[in-house]
Structure 1
Amino acid sequence: MTTDSLTSTSPALHTSIGKTGVLIVNLGTPDSPNTPDVRKYLREFLMDGRVIDIPFIPRWMLVNLIIAPFRAPKSAKIYKELWTEDGSPLKTYGYSVEKMLQQMLGDQYVVKLAMRYQSPGIEDGLKEFQQMGLSSLTVIPFFPQYASATTGSVYEEVMRVLKGWQIMPELRFVNRFLDHPKFIEGFARPARKYMAEHTYDHFLFSYHGVPERQIRKGDPTKAQCKLGSCCDTLNQHNQFCYRAQCFETTRLLVKALDLKEGTYTTCFQSRLGSDPWIKPYSDDVIKDLAKRGVKSVLAFSPAFVSDCLETTIEVGDEYRELFEENGGEHWQLVESLNDSQLWVEVLADLVQKN
């Protein structure tokens, strides 16, 4: 058989017999804003060795004897501020996106929402897929930038479940989508609306932080990562560096919004513990901006596709209060993609591209 004959018959080899499963995965949320459920969520989340990457025994002691007992009651109060009549916004938006994406993709696909932590679980979703006789499975973690603690953790959990299957469908993962034009437009569009209504002195792009040690662990050369100017471009050497991907996301949004140099800052929020996390820290940047005389800020959280505690409460409320306490006057958070049509189109593109 010649190469030409193989090429000519290849379409038939790829004819789909069964359906394609699409597992969309967000981080997770407590089942309720009550302290026991928040404590349960924190324990599962923080016991993940990719989230707190220290040996098991000290991690267990830190999470179960210090963080969960003392942090859960405080976090529960904040979750109660976030909660709606329909429950957690993150889960509400997730189910809405699940429904919209299913309608957009059609009957040849089966879309299911899962959470890396708590419910609906990844294992439960995959077990439902297992009974359907799927031809292929596409997994899309809801994290625009790759990080070991987020996308990497989803990969690991999916493979933990699948390794016990006798028959595995063709499997595809979406690694990241920070440069998808519709993802960028999903943040740029509401930002343009706010910019038309108000003049902003500065634009803040705040991303969830990770410990510096995790960035260095991800450097295969053990020499490339300097946690500084090496993030000024995204290239083959740092393409999986979370910090570099965040700076690239900012550059793409700056271009889409035609922002001037010197009017924007990339920074990182939500650090935990005493070890150094990637910098600059959002709270330090905000205090400095206000003290320098900046009066109005338009803030973005482009590491999150759904509004949640880290966006609505931390960036939207706590950072606004911090800004005003230090002399700022106007603070506006650009909402996440949530269940917007553009976000669903991003997901459909990712599925069909794969």
Structure 2
Amino acid sequence: MEGRAVLLVNLGSPDSPSVTDVRRYLNQFLMDKYVIDLPYLLRRLIVSGFVLPHRPKQSAEAYASIWWPEGSPLKVLTGRLTEQLANKTHAVCVRYAMRYGSPSIEQELVNLASRVDVTEVLVIPLYPHYAMSTVKTCVVELERIVRDQEIRLPVYVHPVFYEDDAYIDALYKVAKPFLQASYDHLLFSYHGVPERHIRKDDPTGTYCLSSADCCQQNSAVHSTCYRAQVFKTTEAFVAKAGIEKNKYSVAFQSRLGKAKWLEPYTSKQLVSLADQGVKKLLVMCPAFVSDCLETLEEIAIQGEEIFKAAGGESLTLIPCLNDHDAWTDVLASWWQKSPAKLSRVKV
């Protein structure tokens, strides 16, 4: 695609594991109305009154436990992915941005739009599944930037890819060496979202979470249903890997606050699996394409402690796609997609 630049967008990370930087990052992240979807004054009260006084110190300690010499694992891995993609395409330019933190989407998009050799931009949100707190907020931010900065060149967004054959194949190639070793059970741990988010993203307002098997039925609602999409990813992966039904399960991690989130919760599932006699546990986190705090600390450190305390022997985290060749090949193939298969950002 002559003149096309690519902008990869990941969630974000603090600039350092210091309490100050973590507090700044959490404030930006949690004040997004698509993350904590409450009226502004109530959201401000919760974030400033209940989260920021104590959470930054706790989170800073967690970040410090997984921080690399080069910096944040999420940003380092996204940077490596960007470099490899640039080497595998003829894109005019390949850059990355973070929805929260730096480099910002606005900074990178404005820079790309100012280049005379760029005629259009393909934005690839690095989220396999649709959710208001990931894909929707990214698209809304792109629309704001295009409008406020008066960007006239076409900006396209790649759709979610939760059951894309190439994505599933890349997941399998990363996991295959771990699946070939001896293990008792494979746990798919997806990032959780509040149940109210699922209902808000339901265009009918009545379908999602209306029955125990709503995600297993065919419905157009699934195009914006995070829960249905993670089940599709799981089904496609286990079919590809040939994993028996009794040897895997699905759970949801990273709860925040007291609202009801998608269940079962990963922390409780780890205990349940150990109680059932699982000794050697594999965990993979397909909602993330890059290893980050939620995988390296929440699963590989906290999760292992929970599992072993409940009687398990070993918990092995299967890495995310990161900068694996199979994944960069997938992204390289997407770079060539026709605009007809993409969504143009509204001007």
Aligned partners of 1:218 and 1:189: how far apart in 2? 32
Whether the aligned pair in 2 keeps the contact of 1:233 and 1:248 (CA below 8 Å) is no
Quick one: which amino acid aligns to residue 83 of structure 1?
W
Q: Which runs of 5+ in 2 are unaligned?
A: 339-347
Q: Do residues 343 (structure 1) and 343 (structure 2) align?
A: no
- The answer to which of 242-251 and 256-265 deviates more is 256-265
- 1:178 corresponds, among 162, 167, 170, to 162
Deviation at 1:139, TM superposition (A): 0.8
Quick one: which amino acid aligns to residue 248 of structure 1?
K
Quick one: which amino acid aligns to residue 171 of structure 1?
V
Q: Which runs of 5+ in 1 are unaligned?
A: 1-15
Residue 316 of structure 1: SS of its match in structure 2?
helix
Q: Do residues 152 (structure 1) and 146 (structure 2) align?
A: no
> Any idea what the Cα deviations from partners look like across 1:214-233, whole Å, max 9, x if unmatched?
10011111121126311125
Deviation at 1:165, TM superposition (A): 4.0
Aligned to 1:307: 291
What fraction of aligned residue pairs are identical, expressed as a percent? Answer: 40
Deviation at 1:305, TM superposition (A): 0.5
Aligned to 1:318: 302
Quick one: which amino acid aligns to residue 77 of structure 2?
Y
Aligned to 1:297: 281
Q: Do residues 224 (structure 1) and 236 (structure 2) align?
A: no
Aligned partners of 1:47 and 1:131: how far apart in 2? 30
Which structure would you say has the larger RCO, counting Cα contacts within 8 Å and 6 or more residues apart?
2
- Give the direction of change, closer, same or farther, for the CA distance of 1:58–1:215 in structure 2 (3 Å limit): same
Deviation at 1:23, TM superposition (A): 1.0
Aligned partners of 1:153 and 1:201: how far apart in 2? 38
Aligned to 1:69: 53
> Any idea what the Cα deviations from partners look like across 1:192-213, whole Å, max 9, x if unmatched?
2123222x22110000001000
Aligned partners of 1:167 and 1:339: how far apart in 2? 31
Residue 320 of structure 2: SS of its match in structure 1?
coil
Q: Do residues 254 (structure 1) and 199 (structure 2) align?
A: no
- Give the direction of change, closer, same or farther, for the CA distance of 1:167–1:113 in structure 2 (3 Å limit): closer
Aligned partners of 1:255 and 1:49: how far apart in 2? 37
Whether the aligned pair in 2 keeps the contact of 1:180 and 1:346 (CA below 8 Å) is no
Aligned to 2:78: 94
Aligned to 1:273: 257
- The answer to which of 89-98 and 179-188 deviates more is 179-188
Residue 109 of structure 2: SS of its match in structure 1?
helix
Residue 38 of structure 2: SS of its match in structure 1?
coil
Residue 99 of structure 2: SS of its match in structure 1?
strand
Residue 96 of structure 2: SS of its match in structure 1?
strand
Quick one: which amino acid aligns to residue 222 of structure 2?
N
Aligned to 1:210: 193
Deviation at 1:167, TM superposition (A): 4.8
Aligned to 2:96: 113
Deviation at 1:269, TM superposition (A): 0.4
Deviation at 1:190, TM superposition (A): 3.4
- The answer to which of 287-296 and 205-214 deviates more is 287-296
Aligned partners of 1:43 and 1:210: how far apart in 2? 19
Quick one: which amino acid aligns to residue 211 of structure 1?
P
Which aligned runs of 4 or more in structure 1 are off by greater than 4 angstroms?
none
Aligned partners of 2:113 and 2:154: how far apart in 1? 12
Whether the aligned pair in 2 keeps the contact of 1:296 and 1:330 (CA below 8 Å) is yes
Aligned to 1:34: 18
Aligned to 1:192: 176
Aligned partners of 2:151 and 2:222: how far apart in 1? 35
Aligned to 1:4: none
TM-score (norm 2): 0.93
Aligned to 2:224: 240
Aligned to 2:112: 129
Q: Do residues 142 (structure 1) and 126 (structure 2) align?
A: yes
Whether the aligned pair in 1 keeps the contact of 2:110 and 2:149 (CA below 8 Å) is no
TM-score (norm 1): 0.91
Quick one: which amino acid aligns to residue 152 of structure 1?
K
Aligned partners of 1:319 and 1:83: how far apart in 2? 18
Residue 265 of structure 1: SS of its match in structure 2?
strand
- 1:201 corresponds, among 167, 171, 184, to 184
Aligned partners of 1:223 and 1:50: how far apart in 2? 20
> Any idea what the Cα deviations from partners look like across 1:268-300, whole Å, max 9, x if unmatched?
000111110011111111111111112121111
Deviation at 1:332, TM superposition (A): 1.0
Q: How many residues align?
A: 336
CA RMSD of aligned residues (A): 1.5
Residue 243 of structure 1: SS of its match in structure 2?
helix
Quick one: which amino acid aligns to residue 204 of structure 2?
T
Residue 311 of structure 1: SS of its match in structure 2?
helix
